[in-house]
Amino acid sequence: YANKYTSIGKDLISAVGTYFNQSGVNYNIEVYVNDQAVYNQSGVSRYMGFETVKLDKYIGVDENDTFIVEIGAGAAVPVSKGSRQHYTNNSSFVGLNGGYDDLYSDDEVASIKVYTIPDNSYMDIQSYQNTVQVTYFDEEGNPLTNADVYVIANGLEYAQTTDENGV
């Protein structure tokens, strides 16, 4: 099951919440931003009922980005039906027979909550001949030190840890 969202600001997706019909359910969470698969995390539910799953890595979205959170967790699909929520066409789906059905037609929505935090960080990019140096800064403008960062260039993801200068 999956829900589609549009970001209203520059944010970081930090967690996803949903319901599980029992503890010990194997799940897989996939995140797509602007139709590109950007993140995948698997785990096992700790509780029966609603559970918030903290993502191992923040996922950046910019204002007006479209992102989809898809959860695979066995046969049970938690849905909300007939609530005061405003249902919209083409925003909540359930997988059936290898495809997806829009839950809008049944006056339902998949029960997925996405948690975000503001992303006020920024980076300074300097190019030197064949080398690119990126300096990362936190929300207060301080160098982001000893932080794991992920850079995607030419379709490849590079994982690095910043030094004491945020480089």
Count of CB atoms within 10 A of residue 56's CB?
A: 8
Sequential pLDDT tens for the chain (167 residues):
999 999 999 898 999 999 999 999 999 999 999 999 999 999 999 999 999 999 998 898 999 999 999 998 877 788 888 777 777 888 888 886 667 788 888 888 889 999 998 887 766 777 777 777 777 777 667 787 887 777 777 777 778 888 888 78
Place of tokens 């495809």: 99
Q: Could you tell me which residues are beta bridge partners of residue 53?
A: 16
Question: What pTM was computed for the model?
Answer: 0.75
Q: Tokens for 123? A: 């980076």
3-state secondary structure (DSSP) of residue 34: coil
Task: Identify how many contiguous H helices and E strands the chain contains and give both numbers.
Answer: 0, 15
